[in-house]
Structure 1
Amino acid sequence: MTRKLFGTDGVRGTANVEPMTAETAMRLGMAAGHYFTRGAYRHTVVIGKDTRLSGYMLEPALTAGFTSVGMDVVLLGPLPTPAVAMLTRSMRADLGVMISASHNPFEDNGIKLFGPDGFKLSDEAESRIEAHMENGLAGHRVAASALGRARRLDDALGRYIEYTKNTFPRGLRLDGLKIVVDCANGAAYKVAPTVLWELGAEVVPVGVTPDGFNINKGCGSLSTDVMKSQVVAHGAHLGLALDGDADRLVLCDEHGDLIDGDQVMALIGRSWHDNGLLKGGGVVATVMSNLGLERFLSGCGLALHRTNVGDRYVLERMRRDGFNLGGEQSGHIILSDYSTTGDGLVAALQVLAALIVSGKPASQVLRLFDPLPQLLKNIRVPPDLNDTILNDPRVLSSIENGERRLAGSGRLLIRKSGTEPLIRVMAEGEDETLIAQVVDDIIATIGKAAGQ
């Protein structure tokens, strides 16, 4: 079954434009509620959100859909995506929902669904929910006496704070560390500074004044200049930047130099391997991860297993083959001993633990390999061409030419975004000038094919 509504990370789009409308959200709630109603008992869904203005529109619409098919709703308020996944399991809920467009600007929003096990839904489950939406929902409505109820969970933040702190090694504290934490004016604006402070750190908070419009705006994991400058200005030991729903982590050292997800996976992978905690004999990452990570892990006697882009595909491989560490270069780090999805704050605590144990500055601890030159550029294309432009003969010829030029010395990866009408072009190799030329040539050709 093919999916039309769901992308690589739930449903996403511009708020108040299909499919991110109140009407579609209500229908999605009805369809998902019906799909997860199994057995003669009161069924429950938990709903969290980030700080976007449109969350006030989508949350009640989803609530109406779920209650109309007899499902009770527990509203969590602004909370990170991994917190929703955790609470879905701990509350024995039948379904979890996160309203967020992650790192996108406030104009966008999205809906992510979690099953009762706290894991994101499979492609098959999403396809079946779409089928319910297409085949009509009137028959799924319950009688007035069987309607669901909605209530708010007042201590949701406290539950996640305690859960997160318990992933930090016992006996360690963050005393003496000054940490800049950029919460992107998003879902972690309360929990992240609180967790670090309660563990003993001196916290310099950034991006903690959400107003519905400023999520990810000039801050967070995709806009790290503020974090870097604050680390230098305050003489901090480390900087942490989360994205809008806090499932992604990017760091910088005491000099303000960035540390990406590949370096984080290298650090945690080696640390866990040395302590007998790493499962599967390696790490799972996507095709975007740098070849330098693969070489580093190989030197530690570990393998790097690659998947398609998207943390859901990383997690599927981890679950299938018994790995407990995986992630993406962009900062989605999955530690399956603790979380069922990427968790920026939990990953940060593992990094901080390694930093404390080493007694060395972040610039030494967090740079375990020299990455090969890698260049990624995006080009926006008309939505109606997003699925077909890579089959244009001119584009195919440009890609083939790039592969010939990189043969034996690098690699080329071209893919369409699963969440936006973008084509992403990435090249990696020993020759920085060559990979820049290859990427620019392909980007130019795609632009011409798109009529730009």
Structure 2
Amino acid sequence: MSRKYFGTDGVRGRFGEGPITPEFVLKLGWAVGRVLGTEAKSRVLIGKDTRISGYLLESALEAGLTAAGVNITLLGPMPTPSVAYLTRTLHAQAGVVISASHNPYQDNGIKFFSAEGLKLPDELETAIEAEMEKPLLTVDSSDLGRAEKMAAEGRYIEFCKSTIPLKTRFKGMKIVVDCANGATYNIAPYVFDEMGADVIAIGNQPNGFNINDGVGSTYPEHLKQAVLEHKADLGIALDGDGDRLIMVDDQGNEVDGDEILYIIACSRMRHGVLKGAVVGTLMSNLGLEHALRDHGVVFERTQVGDRYIMERLTEKGWVLGGEQSGHIICLDRTTTGDGIIAALQVLEEMYATNSTLRELCAGMSKYPQKLTNVHLGSRNPQEIMDSEQVRRSVREAEVEMGSSGRVLLRPSGTEPLIRVMVEGNDGTMVDDLSDHIATTVKELVTSE
């Protein structure tokens, strides 16, 4: 059976269409309970973001799990990384998050964490998939699971604060925190406030429909305006479920995940605790790779997606990786990507070195990067990319840029697209070469 139910991001789709229906979620909860309920007094945590559909899906999950005899703890709106943390520290058998991350409110999804706060092991995924094919049978009344609610915001706030030295204080620092009208709305502002910062919270009025709606890490313009308006020292924009962030310096300049990863890597180096290489993806800016190389740090790339970064870090026993989109993984602090914790690492480095965010970014120069999406229609992406015309245009571009740039062609994983990315230290050359390669691809697509 193909892995249609699972992945690092779990099940995802437009609510009410495809797999994300109450019936599917009830059956999924039952199947998870059947596999995990073999242990006495087994317990599963359920958290969610602020989407209106989360209430219905939460009830469906609750029904399925309790029908299988599993006790559950309802956490309410909580960031995805907080569920990973609480699953581990409360010794639950699994954690479930109802969220579609940075997507609009119409979407929803379900993510899973193991007892260790990590991705479910393959053998558990396989076992759950097998249960999904069986008829749903409720346990005897005496064996039904129970449900309880837990207010765990305070636990997670204290955990976040514990990831930086106790002496660190942000007194005198003015910070704008954009919560994307999502799961961090009742947590992130308090974390930074309790560290002494003057916090201006925006995107902290969720109504079930406005999650990621013009706010948060996907739409940083709102944060930039607020930072300039309030004359703040910096801004922090989280996404709907709190596992990624984008920052803004005091002049309104965006600081993306590559720059955040660079700052944290430099901090770890300064303390002598950076273990192994730093991991990014094929889309990570070449400037990050070169800046880390200048510090004697190896940079490795994986396929696009935080799950590939996590797999490489786990395989090698390394601790630090991230994506340009702001999904930063600090395995020396927690078990998954966490926007609040990543932001704290940056602010702690500002405090420790008496530097501004802009000054910390100065050691890394981002190379101009141009990404063009070419629609394929019904054409096979690999056939197009393997064609002699496209290969020749890529070779010519690589020769012209030499070691000062790179070319990447990759098919989209969700749409009929080829993504053409050219990056180099000469912006005009990058634009010209990118246009040339994209035109070659388009001509080949339309030639038949």
TM-score computed with the length of structure 1 as normaliser: 0.91
* Structure 2: tracts of 5 or more residues without a match: none
Q: Could you say which residue in structure 2 is the equivalent of 1:345?
A: 340
Q: Deviations over 1:120-177 (max 9, x none)?
A: 22455434432332x31435x42222111111112x1111111111112111111000
Q: Could you say which residue in structure 1 is the equivalent of 2:28?
A: 28
Aligned residues: 442
SS in 2 for 1:181: strand
The verdict on how the C-alpha distance between 1:127 and 1:142 changes in structure 2, with shifts beyond 3 A counting, is same
Give the share of equivalent positions with the same residue, in percent: 48
The verdict on how the C-alpha distance between 1:334 and 1:393 changes in structure 2, with shifts beyond 3 A counting, is closer
Q: Deviations over 1:293-329 (max 9, x none)?
A: 1111111111112222221221121122111111111
**1:382-397 alignment runs, 5 A limit:** 389-393=380-384, 396=387
For the Cα contact (< 8 Å) 1:8–1:419, is it kept in 2?
no
What is the rounded CA distance, in whole Å, between the counterparts of 1:298 and 1:449 in structure 2?
39
The verdict on how the C-alpha distance between 1:43 and 1:443 changes in structure 2, with shifts beyond 3 A counting, is farther
For the Cα contact (< 8 Å) 2:27–2:136, is it kept in 1?
no
SS in 2 for 1:138: coil
For the Cα contact (< 8 Å) 1:73–1:150, is it kept in 2?
yes
The verdict on how the C-alpha distance between 1:401 and 1:132 changes in structure 2, with shifts beyond 3 A counting, is farther
For the Cα contact (< 8 Å) 1:265–1:333, is it kept in 2?
yes
Q: Could you say which residue in structure 2 is the equivalent of 1:236?
A: 232
Q: Could you say which residue in structure 2 is the equivalent of 1:94?
A: 93
Q: Could you say which residue in structure 2 is the equivalent of 1:305?
A: 300
Q: Report deviation, 1:440.
A: 4.8
Q: Could you say which residue in structure 1 is the equivalent of 2:64?
A: 65
Q: Deviations over 1:344-365 (max 9, x none)?
A: 0011011001111222222111
For the Cα contact (< 8 Å) 1:46–1:95, is it kept in 2?
yes
For the Cα contact (< 8 Å) 2:30–2:136, is it kept in 1?
no
SS in 2 for 1:113: strand
* Code of the aligned partner of 2:397: L
**1:7-406 alignment runs, 5 A limit:** 7=7, 9-39=9-39, 41-122=40-121, 125-133=124-132, 135-138=133-136, 141-154=138-151, 156-280=152-276, 282-378=277-373, 389-393=380-384, 396=387, 399-406=390-397
For the Cα contact (< 8 Å) 2:174–2:198, is it kept in 1?
yes
SS in 1 for 2:312: helix
Q: Deviations over 1:18-38 (max 9, x none)?
A: 111111111211222222233
What is the rounded CA distance, in whole Å, between the counterparts of 1:172 and 1:160 in structure 2?
18
What is the rounded CA distance, in whole Å, between the counterparts of 1:262 and 1:375 in structure 2?
16
For the Cα contact (< 8 Å) 2:84–2:117, is it kept in 1?
yes
* Code of the aligned partner of 1:318: L
Matched, 1:407 2:398: yes
What is the rounded CA distance, in whole Å, between the counterparts of 1:417 and 1:73 in structure 2?
37
What is the rounded CA distance, in whole Å, between the counterparts of 2:213 and 2:246 in structure 1?
16
Q: Deviations over 1:345-387 (max 9, x none)?
A: 01101100111122222211123211111123456778xx6xx
For the Cα contact (< 8 Å) 1:284–1:305, is it kept in 2?
yes
Q: Report deviation, 1:446.
A: 6.3
What is the rounded CA distance, in whole Å, between the counterparts of 2:431 and 2:410 in structure 1?
17
Moved more, 419-428 or 308-317: 419-428
What is the rounded CA distance, in whole Å, between the counterparts of 1:97 and 1:377 in structure 2?
36
SS in 2 for 1:360: coil
What is the rounded CA distance, in whole Å, between the counterparts of 2:388 and 2:202 in structure 1?
46
Q: What is the RMSD of the two structures over their aligned residues, measured on CA atoms?
A: 2.4
* Structure 1: tracts of 5 or more residues without a match: none
For the Cα contact (< 8 Å) 1:395–1:449, is it kept in 2?
no
The verdict on how the C-alpha distance between 1:204 and 1:159 changes in structure 2, with shifts beyond 3 A counting, is same
* Code of the aligned partner of 1:152: K
The verdict on how the C-alpha distance between 1:124 and 1:442 changes in structure 2, with shifts beyond 3 A counting, is farther
Q: Deviations over 1:394-429 (max 9, x none)?
A: 885664244223224233334445567765443222
What is the rounded CA distance, in whole Å, between the counterparts of 2:343 and 2:134 in structure 1?
45
SS in 2 for 1:18: coil
For the Cα contact (< 8 Å) 1:395–1:442, is it kept in 2?
no
For the Cα contact (< 8 Å) 1:8–1:310, is it kept in 2?
no
